[in-house]
């Protein structure tokens, strides 16, 4: 059977091979080729002339990549007709569709599947309301439209995979069959990791520097690093200066540096830049607390990976973050959030850090790759069987 997979993801093409920034690597795409004979990926693409070691291979057997032109800018919006035509052509020639939402290409593909009477499965990976409302003024205008559009498509989807356990299911319920399968799947666990973490906490002195960390783009304001920086400024006024905030991630640092300077904590905020994925785990073992301050998420991979290293952690009341952490380590997305972050950081004494290290390590084991992928594959196989007879029952 031939499957079309549709999403806005950007693949990078060089020397006839396709690469990804990690979200849709070869390993991820083989979820689909393990079930379907042929997979056509309709997405955005970018030609590059030089390989970047931050990219991961996406090309694999039985996959064909179809380039959809960018139509999201004012200059390129006239190409929307070309994009629809390309998507329609692939949908007509496929047996079924898996669309990852929210995404413009995914939405177009679902519309085309409905029009051409093709069975489809939706992967719900994030909340468009959170993404747009916390972006800018234009985003606030668009947020209600995207929210109701997502709500409509999920409600009427016969097969849906949610990346959260509860959040997206509550906000975007479906009448059809569904399963929760995080896009985060950890390969291995080693109890030596938690042993090392507990030893590190035990050896922490009262006035030791406490390193807080976040991995996320540093030029996307809804990632929320500015709230942590402001909290450090407030703690400094209270005489607490032993916190250092390390940020891993690419992008223009100008805005966050200005926030750090304004709050008189520029010396406590370190920008480490982008980091290869294997190096991120080494860095996680060095820091003391992980924070996920984002105002837009599905179920954050970075937080689960931090928890798998036995890290005490806290985060915003956003999407799936409260599903991962205990309630006292969650701060609100309101004007009170700075005070709440300060309170959480002051709560992290040795006892709390030890308890949370153990608790988070055990919680992360729920995201064992074998368990999640088995559940996902069984659901996709059921969808495949349904698709074979869709013309008779659809």
pLDDT of 394 higher than 60: no
Please say whether the beta carbons of 110 and 153 come within 8 A.
yes
116 near 84, Cβ under 8 Å? no
For residues 143 and 271, what is the distance between their CA atoms, to the nearest angstrom?
31
For the chain, the structural domain boundaries read 2-185+369-393, 191-366
Ordered DSSP codes for 307-361: HHTT--EEEES-TTHHHHS-GGGEE-SSTTHHHHHHHHHHH--HHHHHHHHHHHH
Digit-coded pLDDT (tens) for 143-153: 899 999 999 99
Residue 131 confidence (pLDDT):
78
CATH domain 2-185+369-393 topology: Rossmann fold (3.40.50)
Per-residue pLDDT, 391: 61
**Residue 313: beta bridge partners?**
290
CATH superfamily of 191-366: Glycogen Phosphorylase B; (3.40.50.2000)
DSSP three-state, residue 32: helix
393: pLDDT strictly greater than 60: no
In sequence order, what are the residues at sequence separation of 6 or more whose Cβ sits closer than 8 angstroms to the Cβ of residue 385? none
What global pTM score does this model have? 0.81
Same fold, 2-185+369-393 and 191-366: yes
State pLDDT tens for residues 211-235. 999 999 999 898 999 999 999 999 9
Task: Give, as one character, the DSSP assignment of residue 69.
Answer: P
- Binning pLDDT at 50, 70 and 90, where does residue 278 land? confident
């Amino acid at each position: 059977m031939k499957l079309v997979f549709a999403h806005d993801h950007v693949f990078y093409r060089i020397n006839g091979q396709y690469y990804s920034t990690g979200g849709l690597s070869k390993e991820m795409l083989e979820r689909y080729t393990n079930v379907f004979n042929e997979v056509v990926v309709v997405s955005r693409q970018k030609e590059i002339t030089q390989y970047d070691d931050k990219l991961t291979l996406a090309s694999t057997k039985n996959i064909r990549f179809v380039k959809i032109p960018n139509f999201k800018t004012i200059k390129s919006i006239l190409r929307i007709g070309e994009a629809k035509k390309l998507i329609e052509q692939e949908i007509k020639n496929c047996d079924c569709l898996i669309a990852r939402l929210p995404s413009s290409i995914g939405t177009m593909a679902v519309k085309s599947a409905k029009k051409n009477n093709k069975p489809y499965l939706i992967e719900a990976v994030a909340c468009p309301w959170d993404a747009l409302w916390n972006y800018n003024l234009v985003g606030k205008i668009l947020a209600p439209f995207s929210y109701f559009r997502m709500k409509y498509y999920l409600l009427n989807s016969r097969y849906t995979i949610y990346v959260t356990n509860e959040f997206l299911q509550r906000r975007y319920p479906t009448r059809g069959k569904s399963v929760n399968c995080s896009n985060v799947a950890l390969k291995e666990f080693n109890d030596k990791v938690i042993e090392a973490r507990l030893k590190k906490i035990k050896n922490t002195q009262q006035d030791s520097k406490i390193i807080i960390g976040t991995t996320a783009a540093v030029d996307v304001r809804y990632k929320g690093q500015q709230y942590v920086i402001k909290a450090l400024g407030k703690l400094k006024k209270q005489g607490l200066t032993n916190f250092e905030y390390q940020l891993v991630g690419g992008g223009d640092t100008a805005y966050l540096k200005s926030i750090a300077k304004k709050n008189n904590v520029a010396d406590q905020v370190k920008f480490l830049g982008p980091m290869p994925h294997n190096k991120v785990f080494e860095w996680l073992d060095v820091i003391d607390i992980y924070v996920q301050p984002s105002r837009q998420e599905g179920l954050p991979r970075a937080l689960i990976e931090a928890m798998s290293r036995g890290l005490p952690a806290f985060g915003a009341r956003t999407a799936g973050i409260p599903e991962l952490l205990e309630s006292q380590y969650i701060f609100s997305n309101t004007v009170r959030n700075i005070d709440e972050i300060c309170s959480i950081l002051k709560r992290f004494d040795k006892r709390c850090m030890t308890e949370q290290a153990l608790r988070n390590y055990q919680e992360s084991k729920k995201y064992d790759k074998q368990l999640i992928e088995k559940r996902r594959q069984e659901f996709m196989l059921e969808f495949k069987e349904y698709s074979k007879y869709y013309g008779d029952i659809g």
